[in-house]
Amino acid sequence: MDSSQLYTGMDSVIESLKTAEPQSSDIIALNTQERELINRFFETMRIHSPETMVGVAARIMDLERLSVAISRYPSMYEQTSFYGQERSIRTLIDTLCTLNEGGKLLFLPTKAILGQGFLVAKFHAFSAITKVAQKSFFPDQSVEELRQATVNVMFTLMAEDVYMSLLNDPNLRGDVRHDIAASLADLWEHRLDPHACSIAPVLDAVWAARNRIVPNFGTMIGTSELLLLSIELDETWNRFIAERIAVPEIASSMEEFLFGLSYEDISLIRTELKNRKKPAVGRDEIAGIIGHEAEQKTGEDPRVFYQAYTTRRNNANARKKMMLKGPWKTLEDYYMQFIFEKNREQKKS
């Protein structure tokens, strides 16, 4: 197909961008807000760079085809009986609630496994579109809207990791475990998650503030400013800080998030400060204390946030397996667990 044919068919391409009905079992390629953003992007690029528009349209069409192909696999809510073995949303939730950490993969639905790849493809598509907008004629507000859409995709991808991590906690309350498993199944069904969309603006803002105000280690200069800034963003986050920040493990996970250092490195620095009888230490001195360069994970690229999260998650999992001191969950895990616990309390009241 040449470019002229693509130009002619562009209107039908835009119209075909699917937003599935809530009762549908389809993976939603683009939600309503995302479709509006893409339509505006096309209208602008049609005038300023038709060739670029064609390339982006092809990427979106590929994303749509991928969502359609994956949606052909059985729904999470489909009820069947296979050689006398019942399969339903209830049995899926029961499986998620009882399987151990190392045994889940081959028990997970095919649609769940393939859907994760869809989200990665969607992230790359929106990341590329945002970069094009940054280098083109788009106003700052439009670029920020596209960046936020990319961030939301990243948080949806991360939400799956967080849910799986929480389900691996043997001490998680049974009712909360059930709610998390149900939310995970719904995420797999449509590849959208309301909880991820609600926490995305808060954690994104805290991360952005962290990048602007690098806390001074030891005196905690900057930490209080970060917390005060983020506390104004969301009532749920406000309650989380007020009710849980005094819990040592949660406080430690917050420090890991803010300082970009592991609990073990932070402990080493604190011990060294005590031995030196110094109130604080500069970032340039940290490498000499912990024995390696501290990674400076900053920037607006959502991949930097996700990389920092996976590093903290892997460290937390290692501590849990070896029964070591320090946080056994990430800040994202603790915050999401708090949201589910509060939602369950509201249902009971």
- pLDDT over 50 (residue 343): yes
The 3-class secondary structure across the chain, one letter per residue, is CCHHHHHHCHHHHHHHCCCCCCCCCCCCCCCHHHHHHHHHHHHHHHHHCHHHHHHHHHHHHHHHHHHHHHHCCCCCCCCEEECCEEECHHHHHHHHHHCCHHHCHHHCCHHHHHHHHHHHHHHHHHHHHHHHHHCCCCCHHHHHHHHHHHHHHHHHHHHHHHHHHHHCCCCCCHHHHHHHHHHHHHHHHHCCCHHHHHHHHHHHHHHHHHHHCCCEECCCECHHHHHHHHHCCCHHHHHHHHHHCCCHHHHHHHHHHHHCCCHHHHHHHHHHHHHHCCCCECHHHHHHHHCCCCCCCCCCCHHHHHHHHHHHHHHHHHHHHHCCCCCCCCHHHHHHHHHHHHHHHHHHC
Give the pLDDT confidence score for residue 270 in this predicted structure: 85
Residues 6+ apart with CB under 8 A from 160: 116, 184, 187, 188
Short-list 163, 271, 144, CA closest to 208:
144
State yes or no: pLDDT of 262 exceeds 50.
Answer: yes
Please compute the mean of the pLDDT values over residues 238-265 and round it to a whole number.
91
Q: Are 294 and 288 in contact (CB under 8 A)?
A: no
Whether pLDDT at 252 is above 70: yes
Which comes out higher in pLDDT, residue 215 or 94? Answer: 94
- Each residue's pLDDT tens digit, 135-147: 998 999 999 999 9
Quick one: average pLDDT of 36-65? Answer: 93
For the cut 70, the answer to whether the pLDDT of residue 225 exceeds it is no
Residue 286 has what pLDDT?
80
Q: Average pLDDT, stretch 98-114?
A: 85
Average pLDDT for 50-62: 93
What Rg value do the Cα atoms of the chain yield, rounded? Answer: 22
Rounded Cα–Cα distance for residues 82 and 84 (Å):
5
The pLDDT tens digits for 273-286 are 888 887 777 777 78
Q: How confident is the model at residue 104 (pLDDT cuts 50, 70, 90)?
A: confident
Q: Quick check: 81 pLDDT over 90?
A: no
Q: What is the pLDDT of residue 168?
A: 92
- How many other CB atoms sit within 10 Å of the CB of residue 324? 12
Q: Kindly report the average pLDDT of the chain as a whole number.
A: 86
Is residue 22 over pLDDT 50? no
| CA gap 337, 340 in Å, rounded | 5
Q: How many CB atoms lie within 10 A of CB 25?
A: 16
Lowest mean pLDDT among 96-105, 122-131, 235-244: 96-105
Given a cut of 90, is residue 127 above it in pLDDT? Answer: yes
> For 85-120, b where at least 16 C-beta lie within 10 A, e where not — what string?
eeeebeebbebbeeeeeeeeeeebbebbebbeebbe
Q: What's the pLDDT at 293? A: 77
The pLDDT tens digits for 23-34 are 477 899 999 999
Question: Where does residue 218 fall: left (phi above 0), alpha (psi -120 to 50 degrees), or beta otherwise?
Answer: left
Would you state the structure tokens that stand for residue 87, as one six-digit string?
């399969």
| DSSP tally for the chain: helices H, then strands E | 16, 2
> 139-170, pLDDT tens digit by residue?
999 999 999 999 999 999 999 999 999 999 99
pLDDT at res. 3: 45
Least Cα distance to 325 among 252, 255, 218 occurs for: 252
pLDDT score for 18: 46
CB 340 within 8 A of CB 162: no
pLDDT-based confidence at 1, cuts 50/70/90?
very low
Supply the pTM of this predicted model: 0.89
What are the structure tokens assigned to 155, written together? 């948080």
Most confident of 18-22, 78-82, 308-312: 308-312
44 touches 14 (CB < 8 A): no
pLDDT score at 348: 83
d(CA 272, CA 277): 8
Over residues 306-331, the pLDDT tens digits come to 999 999 999 999 999 999 999 999 99
The C-alpha atoms of residue 22 and residue 20 are separated, in whole angstroms, by 6
- What local confidence, expressed as pLDDT, does residue 181 receive? 97
